[in-house]
Structure 1
Amino acid sequence: MLNPTVLSSCLLLACAVSLSSSAALVDNGMPILWAQTVGQVTDLPEQNGTLTPDPWSFLSRMSLYRLMIAATDPFMGSMGTNATDSPLWGLPLQLGWMLTSGRLADPTGATTCGLQTGDTMCISTQSWWGCVSYFASVLSFLSATQQGFMGQGVQVQMQVPAGVKDYCTTYADCAARYPDAMSKWDAFFQGLKASSESPLTDKEKKDSILGLYWAAQMASTYASAACSARQSHYSSTEVSFANNWLNTAEYVSAAHFQSNVQNTVMFLVLLPSRVLRENDSAPNIADLSQDENRTLTIFSWLKNINSLFGGTLVRLWRKAMCSTETREKGREMLEQLLLNPSFPTHTFFSIITGMSRSC
């Protein structure tokens, strides 16, 4: 929910645009096409006693998220009273944005995967966005399975298109190739189970779970550096946005953002609704909304400032996010930065510097 400060300062027109845009990301309060995903582990394809999901199908990848959310919900009581308060909801919503914005389609033009003229539910193995999403979806699902959330003794091997060899497909394979990411997902799922017996308050549990979640999510993001060669299929403008998007995740994760449905949609509707072309120049991209143009500008500003100071801005931000109180302030500041057009960006650095000194 928007806090009162942000709500009062957010331009009425900008808020209206964002709220109306959310229709492209949710359907009856759920991620798009949620009703077409599978709701039981036994509904996944199986061969010789091993589950064999196809992560190159949008509906199948979304199904992995649905199964994970359902399996972990009993441990998410500290997140809030709504059924959509789990931070895992951010993952399928983000995948939905990638689909609707055309970012899961084949960027090489060699196939019709993901295009309106082909299989619209196809996720291209050549899509950089689809590759980055693979590390968030497949690694987390394999870890959840390994930790017993899908049932005891369940084995999983992901399907992979013929000729494609650079994606891990089993828990052992992914753990060997990306040990840090898998160990952090394991820690997240183990932490969920431990939280049910923890003497901490719900507020403390919530912050702890979100910390474990974002540590895992960012470890998957760092592991997805393996996808970088696929950026060559895109315009320099799209590549710049992609890298700025990765940089912004540093701020979101350190502040322990609660990526439930309501909060995630609020920010996803600000992202560009199509793949960027070479001649696109924010904030003057005519067929993108004012919100989308402004977000591209803010993302670029955050990345450029951080680069200018040799990574100091991200380091200061991480240092400043040292307590539940400062993380709460950090989340409010990010809301102001992205949702309030009148927020003075030149004060951002000085505010963070002051906050970091108190840690």
Structure 2
Amino acid sequence: MLHQTLLSLLACVVSLSSSAVILDNGMPILWAQTASQLTELPIQNDVLMPNPWNFLHRMSLYRLLIAATDPLMGPMGTGANESPFWGLPLQLGWMLTSGRLVDPTGTTACGMETGDTMCISTESWWGCGNYFVSVLPFLSAAHNGLMGEGVPVQMQVPEGVTDLCTTYADCSASFPDAMSKWDTFFQGLKAATGSPLPENEKKDALLGLYWQAQMASTYASATCNTKKSHYSAPEVSFANSWQNSAEYVAAAHFQSNLEKASKFLIPLPGRVLKEGDVAPNIEGLSTEENNSLYTFSWMDSINTTLGGTLVNMWKKAMCSVVAREKGRELLEQVLLTTNYNSFTFMGVLTTMATSC
């Protein structure tokens, strides 16, 4: 049944040219197949032992994390799906349906229709990078009591994998900055309920802590970079642009709730890029996908040309709650408007930066 569900989703991808499918009945794909209780995941000797190299287990980490933190997400808004964590399962679903979790070396059938469709390859750069924004926050949340008091967790690890941490203590030793920042976020989340700050400032402060943790995890995932050698030059360029775009999103304290994150993820390329793919004229990709790739490309090019100062200028411009609100609006215009003018972007950004 599960295999048939995934094949139906993949068929939908093909029928829509190559647009990524990230939602099923308004929720991340295969959400209904994931664990809604800790006890639905493997437990050995009273230790919770999920397998993050199984798609459903990794997606379950997100479902459990969202459920555990939702009671504390009041500052995010009154909607049912306002948590910034929603962006992460949507990303993971996009990686699955776009073929980015399969073994890029082709030496195994991991993730392929001919093998285990729920397998996340340890050779996938995308799967490896996502490990740091799924396993690390889950381990931190459990350590901070959000999964219940004293719940020990250890991630299963495939044979031969030695460079990824599997427990809170292990991750804290290997990636102390990322784990420390996730701890700070979860502690801040718990403390926010009694904070006297106005709701908009409380929300902005929590999103700031959230994105600090997210970016620390992203920097920690540099250990995955050797896996980029498995991909084409266009895919590597896109991967680098994807990572760089997080700097803009983080500085603007983007609220990656279910609705907003969906808008930004749906236009992403629905297949792995191959040699010869040059946006905005990639055959087989939709206008929206081509536009998304082209936008990532010119933003990256401007930043490179300016020696990295575009990112710094953006961060400088995000100097207040109001400025960050304007920054989020500008990001939406840039990423979702076809053929958005780069000169317009630079003009607006320069004005914002000089007004700080």
Match of 2:238 in 1: 241
Structure 2 residue 312 is the aligned partner of structure 1 residue 323: no
Match of 1:77 in 2: 74
User: How well do the aligned residues superpose, as a CA RMSD in angstroms?
Assistant: 1.5
Q: CA deviation at 1:326?
A: 0.6
Match of 2:97 in 1: 100
Match of 2:200 in 1: 203
| From 180, 188, 191, the counterpart of 2:188 | 191
Q: How many angstroms apart in 2 are the aligned matches of 1:74 and 1:23?
A: 31
341-350 or 183-192: bigger deviation? 341-350
Structure 1 residue runs of 5 or longer lacking an equivalent are 1-18
1:1-359 superposed matches below 5 A? 24-341=21-338, 343-359=340-356
The 1:23–1:305 alpha-carbon spacing in structure 2 relative to 1, beyond 3 Å, is closer
Q: CA deviation at 1:350?
A: 2.7
Q: How many angstroms apart in 2 are the aligned matches of 1:245 and 1:316?
A: 19
Measured against aligned partners, the alpha-carbon deviations of 1:273-332 in whole angstroms (never above 9, x if no partner) come to 000001111111110000100111110111111011111000010011011111011111
* Paired residues of 1:21 and 1:269 also in contact (CA < 8 A): no
Q: CA deviation at 1:269?
A: 0.9
Q: How many angstroms apart in 2 are the aligned matches of 1:114 and 1:344?
A: 39
The 1:71–1:310 alpha-carbon spacing in structure 2 relative to 1, beyond 3 Å, is same
The 1:21–1:125 alpha-carbon spacing in structure 2 relative to 1, beyond 3 Å, is closer
Measured against aligned partners, the alpha-carbon deviations of 1:27-73 in whole angstroms (never above 9, x if no partner) come to 12111100110111122211112111000000000000000000000
The 1:120–1:28 alpha-carbon spacing in structure 2 relative to 1, beyond 3 Å, is same
* Paired residues of 2:292 and 2:335 also in contact (CA < 8 A): yes
Indicate the percent of aligned positions where both proteins have the same amino acid: 67
Runs of 4+ in 1 over 4 A off after TM superposition: 19-23
Q: CA deviation at 1:22?
A: 8.3
Measured against aligned partners, the alpha-carbon deviations of 1:158-194 in whole angstroms (never above 9, x if no partner) come to 0001121111100111111111100010011001000
Structure 2 residue runs of 5 or longer lacking an equivalent are 1-15
The 1:271–1:86 alpha-carbon spacing in structure 2 relative to 1, beyond 3 Å, is same
* Paired residues of 2:19 and 2:286 also in contact (CA < 8 A): no
* Paired residues of 1:211 and 1:256 also in contact (CA < 8 A): yes
Q: How many angstroms apart in 2 are the aligned matches of 1:282 and 1:71?
A: 41
The 1:263–1:21 alpha-carbon spacing in structure 2 relative to 1, beyond 3 Å, is farther
The 1:161–1:45 alpha-carbon spacing in structure 2 relative to 1, beyond 3 Å, is same
Q: Aligned partner of 2:33: which letter?
A: Q
Q: How many angstroms apart in 1 are the aligned matches of 2:294 and 2:40?
A: 44
Specify the SS of the correspondent of 2:132. Answer: helix
TM-score, reference length from structure 1: 0.93
* Paired residues of 1:22 and 1:265 also in contact (CA < 8 A): no
Q: How many angstroms apart in 2 are the aligned matches of 1:292 and 1:231?
A: 21
TM-score, reference length from structure 2: 0.93
